[in-house]
Every structure is written in structure tokens, then in C-alpha cells.
Amino acid sequence: MFSLSLVLGMGVEVFTTIAELRSYVAIHRDERKIGLVPTMGALHQGHFSLINRAAAETDLVIVSIFVNPLQFAPTEDLHQYPRQLEEDTQLCAMLGVDAIFAPTAEEMNLPGDIETQSQTTRIIPPDNMTSVLCGKFRPGHFTGVATIVTKLLHIVQCDRAYFGQKDAQQLAIIRRLVKDLNLPVTIVACPIIREDSGLALSSRNQYLTATEQEQAAQIYRSLQQAQAAFTAGENKSDNLVNIVKENLAAVAAAKIQYIELVDPQTLQPLTKVANRGLLAIAVYFGSTRLIDNILLQQRPPIIAIDGPAGAGKSTVTRRVAQKLGLLYLDTGAMYRAVTWLVMQSGIAIEDEPAVASLVQGVEIQLASPEAANLPTTVKINGTEVTQAIRTPEVTAQVSAIAAQAAVRESLVAMQKQLGKQGGIIAEGRDIGTNVFPNADLKIFLTASVMERARRRSQDLYNQGQQNIDLSQLVRDIQARDYQDSNRTIAPLKKADDAIELITDGLTIEEVVQKIIDYIEFDNY
């Protein structure tokens, strides 16, 4: 079959028909993960960042280039929109893209524009997500976007699809679409790439004169002013919106179409920002319409991971923390540190009043280790105890200490305090229910009893044990689950708002990736 890549002699395949693309995917899929980057072409650094992310996370990267007529109103720039397939192909080749899918409108069975939409089957996102922000001024636009994205996801059958946060409304609508239609794909959000001036990169920047480009940088500066006010304590939408307006008023050529503050996921307007808000704007420079946005966030996220013993919580949590630069709030290490201190001070473990007074005013510091396989660095009352708390002697006593109400109370208070600045991930039995009931994301990490027994038996086998009795392991795990769920102090309980993640059949890396996807989802 004719393929443009042969003509250009480069390492990227270019397909213009659905049949060609499908057979390419069928041949190459094998066990490989496929990443799709949907674009309208005229590629720039913003697109490159999506492509690079896809290349880092998947095995086969496909970029679609399609100027979707269904998302343009008749008055909009469908016919002027830059089309430069040859240049884009070269760029994709340089970036190591495996294949480009560049169909015609006819091939996609989508001739015409928004006005002819009624002649095709459409995917209609919820009204309340399209009646705000850009949707208010571009009727039909997001129906066009949702329809084409659904078609592309069906055609490519990718594992992951990459979208820019620059089009924040599009991103939220696509995430909702994937959820509502149960599409088996992970949507990955990528940060906004900007010029040095702060102007968000866009294929439409080509329409701006040099002076307009300079002036347009004021859009981001004005959003930053609002962010600074937010950080300083201003949380009322009207005031934050006014700050943007006042700052943009300095540029006479800028005609604001809208400035709105909405919830980043539901897109519902906010009158004030509790923890997170999306401040989004559309501005005309002449006939060129530019959009931009900024996420206002009180503090970095708090993530709570709970679940039964043996589900892999601590390994997974440690790795997620390392990958995202979060502090792993190792609550187990805190109990160990107190146990170490009690043992050092010569107090009898069972002397609860003495332990209680020792734990009053104790100071524990946790710091992220250099590598994910190293334990959290721990100091208690200024003494570094990272290694000392891992001895068999401490291990033998730690549950007796952790069962004491006074110890529990002090440490939970300390954990809450440590959590205040955010940027932490913690695991345990009651992190989401008791320690951080307001966590931004709660995950209940679990696996069937059989799976946990199998993993345990594998661990024991790796440690050299033979004659492992799998049915005994099953009974032990069931007994432990029962005990953990019925404890009076800190019982194991799934928070109502926790996402249940069942890890049967998943590798640690797959679980880590799923949690990172949830965290990122939650953060935009």
C-alpha cells in the first residue's frame, strides 16, 4: 500500500486511511502499549511535550493530525487553519514517533462543519460542561471534539492518550467522556508549554504579528497576578477575576471574551476557591482568539493509601512518592521511632502512663531518601534513627507500642501537622478515614486473599523456605483481615470516597502507574 513515509524516506510511517492504520496497529501491537497524541497539526513545542511523554510511557507512539471540521463554526478559521503535513512528518520523525495518522475529512466520514453535524452521529458531552468557558461562545465545538476523539480512540485502540492542559475544558470533557462511556484508555494530561515570555504555545500564534505576540504575553502575567493574590489569601472568584481584568486592561488590543473560575474537573463555576480552582480565559487579538489558564491550588496534594496487609501498600507508596517528588509519610517508621525511644529510655513497654508522657512533646522528622529502595530518613528528638528502628528488637515491640491510645493520639496529631503543607503520600489502615479525612485522593489498595497468599508464598520461597502451605497462608491472611477490620483503634476501613484499586494480576509497576494516573487526574 502507498505510504508517504517511503517517499520521504524517514522512520515514521504516515497513514491516510483507517484500514492502513488498523493493519499497522494489528501487526505491531503484540504486547506493546500504544500511546496516541491527537493533534490538528502545525506542531510546536507544546505538541512535542505530549509526544515525548507518550514516548517515555508507551512502546508505540501514534500522532494523529486531523483538522476536525466538526469543531469549527462556519464563522471560524477552518479553512485558514495551518496545514503543514510534510513539516510535521519531519518533526515527528525527529521525535521518534512511530506512525502518523492523517486522514482526510472524507475518510473520517466527517465532511462539513458544525452546521452539518446533524448529518452524523455525535457524542454530546454533558450540558453543564459545555455551557461554560469556551463552550458558551463556541456552540457545538465540544460535541465536535468529543465525537472526533471518540472516533480516534476507537480507530487506534490505544492504551494511553495524551492531551494538553492548555485546553483544560477539552481535557475535562474527554476525561468525563472516557469515564461515562467506559472506554478502556487512560487519559494523560500534560502541562502547558510556554514561550519565554509566558505566552502559551498555540498553532494559532502564527496568526499574530510580532507586536501582538509581545502583548499577548500579558495574558499569562495577569493570570499569575491572580495566582499571587490567591497565594496571599484571596479566594473570592470575583476578586480574582477582577485582578486579571485590571492587569489585562493595560493592553488595549486585548479583547477579553471570558474569564471564569471553575472546578477543574466538573467545570462548574466557583464563587470561591476552597482548595483548587481553574482560572481560564479567552482573549481576542484582532481576529485571533487565544486561550490560557492557570490552576489555583492552596497546597500540593495529600494522598492517602489504605488497604489490608499484604496488598503491597508500602512498596507502591514509596515508589509513587519517589516518582512524583512527594514526601512518603512513613507512619510505620514513626511508630518504630517511638518504640526505639521507649526502649532507649529504659521505660517498660507496658508502662502506658510513662510511655504516654515520654511521647508528649516528642519531635519526629521524616525526609525522603535518595532512592525508592531506601527507607525514609527518620530523626527522633534530633537523633538519626533510620537504621536503628529496623532492628528485630524494635520490630518485636512496635505493635505493642502502636496499640497504646496515647501513642496513637500523639502520632496522629503529628501526622496531621506534617500533612498541613501537603505534598505528601501516606499509607496505612486508617489514613483516609482518620488521619487525613480531607485527603485530595484516597486509594484503597487491595487484592484478593488468594492473590495475597500467592505473593506471600512467593516471598517465602524467595527467602529459601520450602514446604509452604498455601491454604494455611490463606487462613492467616483471613484472620489478619478480620483482626484489622475489627480493631478498636484504627480499624481497617475503606473511606466512602476512596477509589478501590484491586491489584490482582498487576505488577508493582502497573499499580504505581495507575496511582500516578489517578493523582495526575486529580491534579487537573
Query: Residue 47 catalytic?
Result: yes
Question: DSSP code of 191?
Answer: P
Helix axes 392-402, 331-345, angle to 10 degrees: 100
Least CB distance from residue 293 to ligand AMP, whole Å? 11
Q: What angle in degrees, to the nearest 10, is found between the helix axes of 331-345 and 405-419?
A: 130
**Is 40 near ligand AMP (CB under 6 A)?**
yes
Nearer to ligand AMP by C-beta: 436 or 524?
524
Task: Give residues with Cβ within 8 angstroms of 291, minimum separation 6.
Answer: 134, 166, 167, 200, 202, 280, 281, 282, 283
162 sits in which H/E element: strand 160-164
* 138 and 24 Cβ atoms separated by less than 8 Å: no
CB 383 to ligand AMP: min, Å: 47
SS3 89: helix
Size of the site for ligand AMP (CB under 6 A): 17
CB of 33 to ligand AMP, least distance (A): 19
Minimal CA–CA distance to 14: which of 94, 86, 81? 86
Q: How many CA atoms lie within 13 A of 208 on its CB side?
A: 23
Shortest distance in whole angstroms from residue 44 CB to ligand AMP: 7
- Counting other chains too, the contacts that 21-27 makes at CB distance below 8 Å and 24 or more residues apart are 21/62, 21/99, 21/101, 21/155, 21/156, 22/155, 24/99, 25/60, 25/62, 25/156, 25/157
Please report whether residue 237 would count as binding ligand AMP according to CB under 6 A. no
- Closest distance to ligand AMP from the beta carbon of 193 (Å): 4
Residue whose grid cell is 524517514? 10
Choose the stretch contacting ligand AMP; rule: CB under 6 A; options: 41-49, 273-281, 375-383, 499-507.
41-49
Residue 39 touches ligand AMP, criterion: CB under 6 A? yes
- Cβ 493 to ligand AMP shortest distance, Å: 39
Which among 501, 496, 511 is positioned nearest to 437, based on CA atoms? Answer: 496
Of 291, 255, 294, nearest in space to 135 by CA: 291
Binds ligand AMP (CB under 6 A): choice among 13, 88, 167, 306: 167
Q: Is 340 in the site for ligand AMP (CB under 6 A)?
A: no
Residue 325, sorted as left (phi over 0), alpha (psi -120 to 50) or beta, turns out to be: left
- Output 201 or 321, the one with its CB closest to ligand AMP: 201
Q: 245 to 264, contacts with ligand AMP by CB under 6 A?
A: none
Nearest partner of 101 among 18, 33, 26, judged by Cα: 18
Active-site residue identified among 28, 44, 47, 141: 47
292 belongs to the binding site for ligand AMP (CB under 6 A): no
Smallest CA-to-CA distance from 202 within 38, 46, 37 is with 46
Taking 3-state DSSP, the helix, strand and coil percentages for the chain, each rounded to the nearest 5, stand at 45, 20, 35
Name the residue whose CB lies closest to ligand AMP. Answer: 164
Residue 57 binds to ligand AMP (criterion: CB under 6 A): no
Q: Is 166 in the site for ligand AMP (CB under 6 A)?
A: yes
327: closest CA among 385, 276, 359, 368?
368
Work out whether 88 is an interface residue with ligand AMP (CB under 6 A). Answer: no
Piece of the chain touching ligand AMP by CB under 6 A; list 11-19, 21-29, 194-202, 248-256: 194-202
Q: Looking up cell 505528601, which residue turns up?
A: 424
283 in contact with ligand AMP (CB under 6 A): no
Tell me how far, at minimum, the Cβ of 148 lies from ligand AMP, in Å: 10
- Quick one: which of 35, 125, 140, 164 contacts ligand AMP (CB under 6 A)? 164
Distance CA 70, CA 120 (A): 10
Exactly one of 62, 110, 155, 193 binds ligand AMP (CB under 6 A); that residue is: 193
**By CB under 6 A, residue 152 contacts ligand AMP:** no
The answer to whether residue 190 forms part of the interface with ligand AMP (CB under 6 A) is: yes
**Which three cell numbers mark 68?**
476536525
**Which range, of 43-51, 99-107, 280-288, 404-412, touches ligand AMP by CB under 6 A?**
43-51
Query: Which CB atom, from 173 or from 473, has the smaller least distance to ligand AMP?
Result: 173
Of 134, 149, 201, 216, the one binding ligand AMP (CB under 6 A) is: 201
Tell me the C-alpha distance between 379 and 389, whole Å.
Answer: 10
CA 386 vs CA 111, 330, 338, 383: distances in Å: 65, 11, 12, 9
273 belongs to the binding site for ligand AMP (CB under 6 A): no
Identify which range of 89-97, 160-168, 328-336, 480-488 contacts ligand AMP by CB under 6 A: 160-168
Q: How far is the CB of 217 from ligand AMP (least distance, A)?
A: 13
The reply to whether 70 sits near ligand AMP by the rule CB under 6 A is no
Say whether residue 163 binds ligand AMP (CB under 6 A). Answer: yes
Kindly tell me which residue out of 89, 143, 203, 297 binds ligand AMP, with binding defined by CB under 6 A: 203
Cβ at position 231, least distance to ligand AMP in Å: 23
**Binding site residues, ligand AMP, CB under 6 A:** 39-40, 46-47, 49-50, 163-164, 166-167, 190, 192-193, 200-203
Catalytic residues: 47
